[in-house]
Structure 1
Amino acid sequence: MTRTLLLGARVVDPGAPAEGSSALEVEYGRITWAGPADLGRERAPGADVHDLDGAVVTPAFVDAHVHATATGLLADGLDLTGCPSPAALLDAVAARAAARPGALIWGHGWQDQIWTEATPPRSAIDRAAAGASVYLSRIDVHSALVSSALLDRAPGAADEPGWSDGPLSAGAHHHARRAALAAVDGRTRAAAQEAFLAAAAALGVAVVHECAGPDISSATDLAELLARPGPQVVGYWGEAVTTAAQARELLAATGAHGLAGDLFVDGSIGSRTAALRAPYADAPGCTGNRYLDAEAVGAHVTACTEAGVQAGFHVIGDAAADALVDGLRIAAAATSPDAVRAARHRVEHLEMAEPAQAALLAELGVAASVQPLFDAHWGGPHGMYAERLGATRAAPMNPFAALRDAGVLLALGSDTPVTPVAPWDAVHAAAAHRTPGSGLTPAEALAAHTVGGHRAGGEGSPLAGRLVAGAPATYAVWDGPGPLDGDPRPPRCLQTVFRGTALHDTLPRLA
């Protein structure tokens, strides 16, 4: 393998108290030397040299929560993010149905809280679709507008909780989503996955954690994604088990790294399916959905701990956080706190955790995969969270600083397509939290989006995410520092490298 030398860079190592290196040498997939550029030039003979002229080198990002196929499908689907009204949504469906008669219409991103009119009934979707199958997920992907033609493919949906003439949620939505994904042909699915991975690499992302499962994707989808070249895919399968034997069998059947990710304890705030102790402020009497109780959480964590398998859950509401910590206590009593810690379990989102709960997570070694752009998009005193919960209850949400202070390992992700793959935007959002005192510093956010992601994904190398001699050569080159120097604008990615292999490369070389 050719020895590579990066010269004249600003090298940002998340584990260093101050930036000192301006050159890196890479060989056989590892960083073999880091130091000043003048010494680096002495190592140039025989190397593939990049003179970076002041560019910035950071570890490549780890997106700790993605849905690759669903995101890739939007390259040719209906992007309804920012759709201003139900009428505009119906116009978009009608235009697509006219352009591609009978074809599946896949869309995503509508947000009812920004509309002044009610969500359209199924009859309106059917008229616009002209007989086509339609699946249009809300921005949080916990509810969807669908056509009757799609429901013909999901006959059990009408018998599930969450059935309505408008958006489907809970079990009814899960049936409809499975039917929609089953209607996507293999060639389209492959193109969606390849488009997603290429786009992630071009944004400086070298590793993604795919959160698959029976209620969100399929085993076939996960297997095909795991086989694709590009950024490394760490696959999770969100399905509960009760014995160690079941855990091992499910891991072998899916090829997953762990039984975690979107294993739903509850739903989302936007769809009013997150499990709450007290009712939603804008829906009196509604406290959301509870898909797993503490006993089920405890059984799953116990089984995975005994099998040496990483477990994890989707947790958003405060009642769901209660179920999580109570379940962890059950598992620690059934095995031991040391055994639970050794398994390195994780939790996704954790938007309403309290200090005592954070302390327990830290004690048991549970990593938190969190999404700063949730706060950027829906936080603040007048955001969607405040609308759903009231400003007082919404203010403490996404408590990144409190989790950090408790000693919880943080990993940052996007939950794409809920929010886009935009790692520098996530770093900025974590630092510019809408609730003062709840955010991280830019340096801490960068570390959580790199080192934290590797550790949460079970990476064995203790130097993963670092830019020091001996570390895996997984890095990205940028045309500026962006949020690291207080500029919210993301820099442009010039190169993304994973273990010495370039995934995205626009750098010139010296002769």
Structure 2
Amino acid sequence: MRAAADLVVTGAQLLTPAPSTDTALAVAGGRIVALGTDEEVLALAGPGTERIESEGAALLPGFHDAHVHAQAGGLALGGCDLEPEHSIDGYARLVREFAARSDDEWIVGSGWFGDAFPGGLPTRAHLDAIVADRPAVLTSHDAHGVWVNSAALERAGITRASTDPANGRIVRDADGEPTGVLFDAAGELVTRLVPAPGPAERRTALLAAQRHLFSLGVTAWHDAILGAYLSLPDCLPTYLETLADGSLTARVTGSMWWPPQAGPEHVPAMLEHLRATSEAGFPVRSVKIMQDGICENCTAALLEPYTGVHPTTRGDSVIAPDDLVEIVTALDAAGIGVHFHGVGDRAVRECLDAVEAARRRGGPAPTGPERPRHQIAHLDVVDPADVPRFAALDVTANIQPLWARDDQEILERKFPLIGDERAAWHFPFGALQRAGARLAMGSDWPVTSPDPLWALHTACTRTAPAADVHARNPESHRPAQPEQRLDLSTAVRAATLGAAEASGNETTIGSLEPGKLADLVLLDGPLTGPADLDRVRVRRTVLGGRTVHVSDAP
């Protein structure tokens, strides 16, 4: 006789992620053992079975964030976190309050948006007026810019005579003086001086991130950078520690950071690093390669020049295309996937070209769960000619849906640089889906909120969630490129099974099927269409059949 179920959930709207006619689910030994009608599943219950009545609310696989920086998100929660505000006065209040309660040598924080400032960027004068007695360094919400005060510039020796580093820019005023904003690699001129958080602080941050993600229904994630980047310390030691002692219970995968300055000769060292990391308890089967920057500061790599700036400015390829082909071909042959950062249409094409060359040299792509999983994240601008290549090459489109709306920063800072023709192909999720591309959904937290319901809302409506403080302009609540909207079923799949496929663990998580791990999220209402996504919230999060979060909302 079969043992009684440990948990039964009844009266639910099951999204498996596809809509199901079943209304109930049973769990035993941490795994799903049955789906069916309420009567069929209740027959599996016993005296000790936990019973949850859903009252018609949606029950889904646990959400899976396909591109996140969890330790960084946790550090942001515990540092000078500017995320809750979107104004000069709001930022000033948060920095002032943090400085008053901190006796650290440096003021360190993150989360500012450029459009909150006249001209689209802050200055050191703004920060000097708040804190002048010690250096301050605040990373932008997109992690591609650093806002510093005069004390920090002085510590780093940055003056009007300083030259821009490779893949970076010191923003200057009309007289050539540094303004206090440093883009990409230029930020490291300061961030390398900031005392790194110690092991205990990094551990606290990662576990705080886990609690926060559980509260949003996220039970699995893929950390997009295992390594040090700008002001972000290497998170790998913390993962190894928390996985070893069992305090990290979420399903986690990650991509090892490829140093931007490294060439093909670095492949053997990378493969050895991956081997040692796997033996240490964190199997890693992919590498993160950043191929360009972002459009907002003209570091994204475009096929045609930016508009409104120097007529030859096209952005930089971080890795020379020929070297990229060699690197990707060698990694692919070793069974290692590549998680590309590709924002501009030229960077996206270079990434696709590298995968195509690797497939051509190595023969047909292997099939099954062991095949290398190549994916390109962000995809702000994709040339229409390259859209079909995602499906043809089996490259996953790793999308960040919360960005796909007309925020003030996008309208005032980004679109004038890329022009109307490219703006029409801004985050072409719908076109990719119609062309048969695999989709995986990630947040890039702490760049933007890790709330998957917010991401689903924007993916399906191309508008901002009503509660998002970073979308107060009226345009953000009108559909942006409406032809690029996703239907609800497609979007839910991208946030669950699609992300699990991209991470290579779809055989154990990502869908509600007997035999899979019982990672579940129960909402507080049904999902009948995109309009519901701005109303429902997470009621309960279950990991391996065990509740890890229950909402305290009435």
Q: Which residue of 2 aligns with 1:208?
A: 221
The residue correspondences of 1:129-140 to structure 2 (distance < 5 A) are: 129-140=131-142
Matches within 5 A, 1:174-213: 174-180=188-194, 182-212=195-225, 213=227
In structure 2, the residue matched to 1:311 is 338
For 2:405, what is the secondary structure of its paired residue?
helix
For 2:492, the equivalent position in structure 1 comes to 446
Question: What does residue 281 of structure 1 align with?
Answer: 307
The within-5 A match list for 1:31-430 is 31-46=32-47, 47-81=49-83, 82-85=85-88, 89=91, 92-117=94-119, 119-122=121-124, 125-126=127-128, 128-147=130-149, 150=152, 160=165, 161-164=168-171, 165=178, 166-180=180-194, 182-212=195-225, 213-216=227-230, 220-226=234-240, 227=242, 228-239=247-258, 242=264, 245-254=268-277, 255=282, 257-261=284-288, 263-285=289-311, 286-339=313-366, 342-376=371-405, 378=407, 382=411, 384-430=413-459
Q: Which residue of 1 aligns with 2:465?
A: none
Summarize the Cα distance change of 1:477–1:89 in structure 2 as closer, same or farther, 3 Å threshold: closer
State the shift of 1:405 in Å: 1.9
Q: Which amino acid aligns with 1:108?
A: S
Residues 120 and 305 of structure 1: CA distance in aligned 2, closer, same or farther (over 3 Å): closer
Q: Deviations over 1:15-44 (max 9, x none)?
A: 4xx421111011122211100112222222
Please report how far the alpha carbon of residue 360 of structure 1 lies from its aligned counterpart in structure 2 after TM superposition: 2.2
Pick closer, same or farther for the CA change 1:56–1:304 going to 2, 3 Å.
same
Q: Per-residue CA shift, 1:100-129, capped at 9, x if unaligned? A: 344432222222234225745446645643
Distance 1:94 1:452, change over 3 A: same
Secondary structure of 1:488's match?
helix
The alignment partner of 2:533 has SS state of coil
> Aligned-residue CA RMSD in angstroms?
3.0
AA in 2 matched with 1:239: W
Q: Structure 1 residues 119 and 468, CA, compared in 2 at 3 Å: closer, same or farther?
A: closer
Q: Give the whole-Å Cα distance in 2 for the aligned partners of 1:83 and 1:456.
A: 33
The whole-number CA distance in structure 2 between the counterparts of 1:154 and 1:310 is: 37
For 2:431, the aligned partner's letter is A
Is 1:12 paired with 2:35? no
Give the distance between the partners of 1:73 and 1:219, measured in 2 at CA.
10
Q: Partners in 1 of 2:46 and 2:92 — Cα distance?
A: 63
SS in 1 for 2:238: helix
Paired with 1:442 and 1:264, the residues of 2 have a C-alpha distance of 30
**Quick one: distance in 2 between partners of 1:378 and 1:269?**
14
- Distance in structure 1 (CA, Å) of the matches to 2:126 and 2:351: 40
Change (3 A) 1:238 1:155: farther
Three-state SS of the structure 2 residue aligned to 1:343 is coil
Tell me, yes or no, if structure 1 residue 503 matches structure 2 residue 553: no
Tell me, in whole angstroms, the C-alpha distance in 2 between the residues paired with 1:119 and 1:486: 34
Unpaired runs of 5+ in structure 2?
A: 172-177, 463-479
The DSSP-based 3-state class of the residue aligned with 1:393 is: helix
- Tell which deviates more after alignment, 148-157 or 452-461: 148-157
Distance across 1 between alignment mates of 2:333 and 2:206: 34
Aligned-pair CA distance for 1:460: 5.0
Q: CA shift at 1:196, angstroms?
A: 1.2
Distance 1:383 1:483 in 2: 35
- Cα shift at 1:410: 0.6
Deviation at 1:272, TM superposition (A): 2.7
Q: Aligned partner of 1:32: which letter? A: V
Letter of the 2:16 counterpart: D
Greater CA deviation, 197-206 or 124-133? 124-133
Change (3 A) 1:379 1:459: farther
| Range that drifts further, 46-55 or 445-454 | 46-55
Higher mean C-alpha displacement, 142-151 vs 189-198: 142-151
Seen in structure 2, the aligned counterparts of structure 1 residues 50 and 121 have a Cα distance that, compared at 3 Å, is closer
CA 1:91–1:450: 2 relative to 1, 3 Å? closer
Shift of 1:443: 1.1
State the Cα deviation string for residues 314-372 of structure 1 (Å, max 9, x = none). 00011211221222233233322425993121111122123432322222221121101
Amino acid corresponding to residue 258 of structure 2 in structure 1: E
Does structure 2 conserve the Cα–Cα contact (< 8 Å) formed by 1:293 and 1:323?
no
Q: Structure 1: 5+ residue runs without aligned partners? A: none
Pair 144,398 (structure 1): closer, same or farther in 2 beyond 3 Å: same
Deviation of residue 465 (structure 1)? Answer: 1.7
Give the counterpart letter for 1:189 in structure 2: R
CA contact (8 A) 2:228 2:235 kept: no
Instruction: Identify if the C-alpha distance between structure 1 residues 35 and 236 changes in structure 2 by more than 3 Å, giving closer, same or farther.
Output: same
Relative to 1, partners in 2 of residues 1:118 and 1:24: Cα closer, same or farther, differing over 3 Å?
Answer: closer
- For residues 416-463 of structure 1, what are the alpha-carbon distances to aligned partners after superposition, in whole Å with 9 as ceiling and x for unaligned? 1111011011111111121121121011100010000100001151x6
Task: Look up the match of 1:487.
Answer: 532
* Contact 1:258–1:310 under 8 Å retained in 2: yes
Question: 2:483 is matched with which residue: 429, 437, 461?
Answer: 437
Query: Which amino acid counterpart does residue 109 of structure 2 have in structure 1?
Result: G
Q: Is the 8 A contact 2:185 2:230 kept in 1?
A: no
Distance verdict in 2 for CA 1:186–1:154, change over 3 Å: farther
8 Å CA contact retained: 2:17, 2:493: yes
Q: Secondary structure at the match of 2:296?
A: coil
- Across the two proteins, how many residue pairs are aligned to each other? 501
Out of 226-235 and 22-31, give the one that drifted further.
226-235
Distance 2:406 2:205 in 1: 25
- Give the secondary-structure state (helix, strand or coil) at the position aligned to 2:118: coil
1:187/1:329 CA distance change after superposition, 3 Å:
same
TM-score of the pair, normalised by structure 1: 0.88
Amino acid at match of 1:55: A
- Distance, in Å, in 1 between the alignment partners of 2:140 and 2:233 is 23
Distance 2:142 2:430 in 1: 24
Corresponding letter in the other structure for 2:338: A
Q: Which residue of 1 aligns with 2:472?
A: none
Q: Percent identity?
A: 30
Question: What is the identity, as a one-letter code, of the residue corresponding to 1:398?
Answer: F
Q: Deviations over 1:158-196 (max 9, x none)?
A: 66242342311132224434444x432333322222211
For 2:315, give the aligned amino acid: G
Q: Secondary structure at the match of 1:167?
A: strand
Q: TM-score, normalised by structure 2?
A: 0.82
2:487 aligned with 1:458, yes or no? no
Q: Which moved more, 1:107-116 or 1:446-455?
A: 107-116
The Cα offsets for residues 208-228 of structure 1, whole Å up to 9 and x where unpaired, read as: 111113335767422203524
Helix, strand or coil: the match of 2:493? helix
